[in-house]
Amino acid sequence: MELTRVSRPAGSRQLFPLKLSVSLLALFLGLVVIPARLGHPFWPFPAMEKAFAGNLGSRIPDQIVLSWTGSPSSTQAITWRTTTDVEKSVVQYWVMEGRQSPSEAGKTTDTQVPPAESSTTTGTSAIFQSDLGVMRIHEVNLTGLKPGTRYAYRVGDGTADGWSPVYTFVTAVQQPQQVSVLVAGDSQSLPTNYSLWQKVLQTAVHDETPENFLVQTGDLVDAGAEEQHWESWFAAGRGVLEGLPEMPALGNHENARGGAGYFTAHFQLPTNGPEGLKELAYSFDYGDVHWIVLDSEATSWSAREQQLQWLEADLQAAKDRPWKVVVFHRTPYEVKRWRPNSDLVNFYVPLFDRYHVDLVLSGHDHSYARSYPLRQGQVAKATPTDLTQGTVYIVTGRSGVKTYTDTYQPDWAAAFASGVPQPNYLNLIFSGRTVRIINRYLDGTVTDDVVLSK
């Protein structure tokens, strides 16, 4: 979150002045009635009417989410929400003894009282005005942490009755032998019901594959400029997001009607991207894997050119990294009929070819597909698991309620699973010169399990 923009992010709606002329008031009331006749799901005025509700949240922190803005082995970014009158941002944390495993992260501890040797760090906060009302969003970035260590923490304002429960997280080891990542496609759902996303997330973190962090390929919510969707998304993620770092990409549904401001307010992400796209395009390293997150919704020529120049500079700087993975929402190679994204192919794919990007993860089409290695438009069907022959593109499917009945397995796809029967999730397990890709339906059915090598 870029705090200088939180008080009024681009596209956010301001509260109407209290003194309205009769004519303006009549116009406003007329516009509020129109949506009921139109049945338009994204009409802004009903949500604007709710803006007069005032303060959101409570003194006890909620919407707690982990991410990184620095090294995963020595830092931890923590973001949360309270009412606007809670101005202080405090994290109390300490080393937990015993097992230090990603599967332990996020669990509340039996002891809610910190030991005497605990540490305290303060951060910053800012008021964010949403369509439902105002809230205060807090950010703290813990630094100087020990690699490969399990920490307990709680967040609040430092007063006895202002603390969250105690949660845990695990820092990355400096040179991990294996990196395991949970990947989820579009989790967008109904405004007040993200229970299917909750089921997918809870199933994924409790299966036999532990994960170090979560990547989402955009469209986390269905209407990014409506806070009710974020309320429901965070509520569904409770019990996981407090311990498993989330590194998301912006989707078209977050971006619509100024929703990008909500996205950057709710997450604390790296600011190493191009000017104008801070926290929407960024990169970070976890072990041997260099991750690049792009904004596929940056559609103006100037924004794309700026992102393209930044992407090439970032890939050049990371050219010696063993693994390079790019994440963005709209997929360059589609599996939904009649919805091509040739602009992305023309703009970004040549750089992926030139710098030998290993994997490209996208969402948008709500079914799962894994390509053969592709380079310069050529499909390496004879060597489907050899990453030296090209980049493998993965369409990550869906983890929410929305489905498409017109998806299909194109000629470039080595594997495909329709999103209609069930939602799905992926595990990527990097080890040495190999990566194992596992795609599962919600009921545990494995639809793809392959090891790629380079």
CATH number for the region 179-453 comes to 3.60.21.10
Q: What's the rounded Cα separation, in Å, for the pair 211 and 207? A: 10
Residues contacting 22, CB < 8 A, separation 6+: none
pLDDT confidence of residue 111 = 57
pLDDT band at 4 (very low <50, low <70, confident <90, very high): very low
**∠363-365-371 over CA atoms, to 5°?**
75
DSSP H or E segment with residue 441:
strand 434-441
* 286-305: pLDDT as tens digits: 999 999 999 999 989 999 99
User: Could you identify the residue written with the tokens 């080393």?
Assistant: 95
Q: What is the mean pLDDT of the segment spanning 266-276?
A: 97
Q: Is the pLDDT of residue 39 over 50?
A: no
Name the nearest CA neighbour of 286 among 219, 215, 353: 215
**Percent of the chain residues past pLDDT 90, beyond the cut:** 83
Largest Cα–Cα separation, the chain: 72
pLDDT band at 394 (very low <50, low <70, confident <90, very high): very high
Q: What's the rounded Cα separation, in Å, for the pair 289 and 90? A: 32
| Beta carbons of 262 and 2 less than 8 angstroms apart | no
| Beta carbons of 287 and 276 less than 8 angstroms apart | no
Exposure b/e, 297-326, CB count within 10 A at least 16 = b? bbeeeebbebbbebbeebbeebeebebbbb
Q: What's the rounded Cα separation, in Å, for the pair 214 and 200? A: 13
Name the nearest CA neighbour of 367 among 391, 345, 398, 346: 398
pLDDT confidence of residue 36 = 27
Would you tell me how many other CB atoms lie within 10 Å of the CB of residue 366? 27
pLDDT band at 114 (very low <50, low <70, confident <90, very high): confident
pLDDT band at 116 (very low <50, low <70, confident <90, very high): confident
Q: What's the rounded Cα separation, in Å, for the pair 359 and 324? A: 7
* 324-358: pLDDT as tens digits: 999 999 999 999 999 999 999 999 999 999 999 99
| Beta carbons of 175 and 432 less than 8 angstroms apart | no
Could you give the dihedral angle defined by the CA atoms of residues 349, 354, 359 and 361, in that order, rounded to the nearest 10 degrees? -30
Residues contacting 252, CB < 8 A, separation 6+: 218, 219, 296, 297, 329, 330, 364
* pTM of the predicted structure, to 2 decimals: 0.88
pLDDT higher at 45 or 258 = 258
pLDDT confidence of residue 97 = 77
**∠329-299-216 over CA atoms, to 5°?**
15
